[in-house]
């Protein structure tokens, strides 16, 4: 018996056989449009932080400043949800070995793609290798209950920033790894240190988002069974808002009334510039000169408060996207089809975006063209070039939405996961995507 669906009955329509507006129209199968919409928002948000990061006058665009750290965190939470969806059948059969191998294979595929994409000369810090390793860290957590996962995520988000600072302090290094590539294998110890601790997206930090995503994914599957997607979406939005506000509020208290900024100014000798250091976007880690940096809410700082804020905004985005798509009928779903198609092929589009942005940057900046023709700066960083990348994403998304096929890289990741899962369960049935 199908759960009720306020958006009509997509489970019996031609569109619904492939896609479920809010995920409540069927107990099995179909893509959940709200998740694809959230992936699309994460995708174009990351594009903004890549190709609209600086204005021609050197100032930072308001959009890039707002999205800093949030779009990538949303992707990481969605990755955790994806792990739950792609292992649903295996977990229901208690085939945890097959589920673990599935996740392991998918993580491996992401790392292979990321290491190859890292060969493209680009200023963009490609996150895929880090994401792949996060998948591997999720493998031993597949059997845990939702409560246990929340306890692990909460405890680790509180403890790891302190451990990270303790580990990094003797090294006296900042962010020492941006985009890993095959050549980094020549220095394996430095590569592993960068991937797990000192890189732009330290795996031991970012795993928190994916664990949160696993809990959300399980709740989403349960809500789809009960037909309570709307209630879940509103709950996620409320919890996300509370989490983000608490993160901002406590950080502000520690920085001001509790004397954090004054202590940073004294220990670093920066004085009045301590506030800029405290709130400026980081590159995966905090400075180690003062433990008060652990109170920073700065994006990509990896502090407890950064994690709370960006996990909170991720829950808000997912909750709102689920609620919006739940209320849409087939006609409206078709109207936003290009965005949903882009959200269903994020890996392919992200990779194309990195390549195009990298080639453009290399040609204009490294090639010297920009020095001779500064008016071409808009091709490197501007609102128009961001909109061009968004338009490209929508064009690719439209093709795959109407073609009803996966993107090639998504298909490769799925195939790899299935091949690994087959080692434990040769006849494993197809998973939900």
Residue 249 lies in a domain: yes
pTM recorded for the entire structure:
0.90
Give pLDDT, residue 6: 36
Whether 204 is in a domain gets the answer yes
Q: Given this model, what pLDDT does residue 62 score?
A: 92
Domain coverage including residue 155:
17-422
Whether residue 5 lies inside any domain: the answer is no
User: Has residue 196 been placed in a domain?
Assistant: yes
Q: Is residue 193 part of a domain?
A: yes
For the chain, how many structural domains are there in total? 1
Q: How far is residue 197's CA from residue 145's CA, in Å, rounded to a whole number?
A: 27
Residue 1 lies in a domain: no
- pLDDT (tens, 9 = 90+) of the chain, 433 residues, equals 333 333 333 333 334 334 555 443 333 346 899 999 999 999 999 999 999 998 878 888 999 989 999 999 999 999 999 999 999 988 888 889 999 999 999 999 999 999 999 999 998 999 999 999 999 999 999 999 999 999 999 999 999 999 999 999 998 777 788 899 999 999 999 999 999 999 999 999 999 999 999 999 999 999 999 999 999 999 999 999 999 999 999 999 999 999 999 899 888 877 778 888 899 888 888 988 899 999 999 999 999 999 999 999 999 999 999 999 999 998 999 999 999 999 999 999 999 999 999 999 988 887 777 767 777 888 888 999 999 999 999 999 999 999 888 899 999 999 999 999 999 855 544 444 4
Tokens 């792949």 — which residue?
A: 132
- 180 lies in a domain? yes
103, part of any domain: yes
């Amino acid at each position: 018996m199908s759960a009720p669906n306020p958006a009509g009955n997509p489970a019996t329509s031609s569109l619904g056989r492939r896609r479920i507006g809010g995920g409540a129209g069927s107990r099995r199968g179909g893509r959940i449009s709200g998740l694809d919409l959230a992936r699309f928002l994460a995708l174009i948000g990351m594009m903004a932080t890549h190709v609209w990061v600086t204005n021609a006058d050197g100032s930072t665009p308001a959009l890039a400043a707002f999205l800093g750290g949030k779009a990538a965190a949303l992707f990481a939470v969605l990755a955790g949800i994806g792990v739950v969806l792609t292992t649903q059948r295996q977990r229901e059969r208690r085939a945890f070995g097959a589920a673990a191998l599935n996740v392991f294979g998918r993580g491996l595929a992401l790392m292979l793609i990321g290491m190859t994409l890292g060969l493209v000369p680009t200023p963009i810090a490609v996150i895929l290798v880090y994401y792949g390793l996060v998948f591997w860290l999720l493998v031993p957590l597949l059997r845990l209950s939702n409560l246990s996962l929340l306890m692990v995520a909460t405890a680790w988000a509180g403890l790891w920033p302190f451990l990270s600072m303790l580990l990094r302090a003797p090294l006296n290094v900042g962010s020492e790894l941006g985009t890993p590539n095959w050549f980094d294998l020549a220095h394996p110890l430095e590569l592993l240190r960068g991937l797990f601790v000192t890189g732009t997206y330290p795996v031991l930090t970012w795993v928190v988002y994916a664990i949160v995503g696993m809990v959300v994914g399980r709740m989403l599957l349960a809500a789809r069974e009960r037909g309570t997607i709307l209630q879940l979406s509103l709950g996620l939005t409320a919890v996300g808002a509370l989490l983000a506000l608490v993160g901002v509020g406590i950080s502000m208290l520690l920085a001001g009334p509790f004397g954090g900024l004054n202590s940073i100014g004294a220990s670093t000798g920066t004085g009045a510039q301590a506030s800029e250091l405290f709130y400026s976007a980081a590159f995966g880690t905090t400075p180690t000169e003062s433990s008060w940096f652990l109170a920073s809410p700065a994006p990509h700082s990896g502090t407890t408060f950064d994690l709370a804020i960006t996990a909170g905004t991720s829950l808000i985005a997912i909750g709102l996207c689920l609620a919006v798509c739940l209320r849409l009928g087939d006609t409206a779903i078709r109207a936003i089809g290009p965005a949903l198609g882009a959200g269903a092929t994020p890996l392919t589009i992200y990779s194309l975006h990195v390549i195009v942005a990298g080639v453009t940057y290399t040609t204009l900046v490294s090639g010297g063209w920009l020095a001779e023709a500064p008016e071409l700066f808009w091709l490197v960083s501007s609102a128009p070039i961001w909109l061009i990348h968004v338009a490209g994403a929508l064009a690719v998304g439209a093709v795959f939405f109407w073609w009803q096929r996966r993107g090639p890289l998504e298909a490769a990741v799925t195939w790899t996961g299935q091949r690994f899962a087959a080692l434990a369960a040769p006849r494993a049935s197809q998973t939900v995507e």
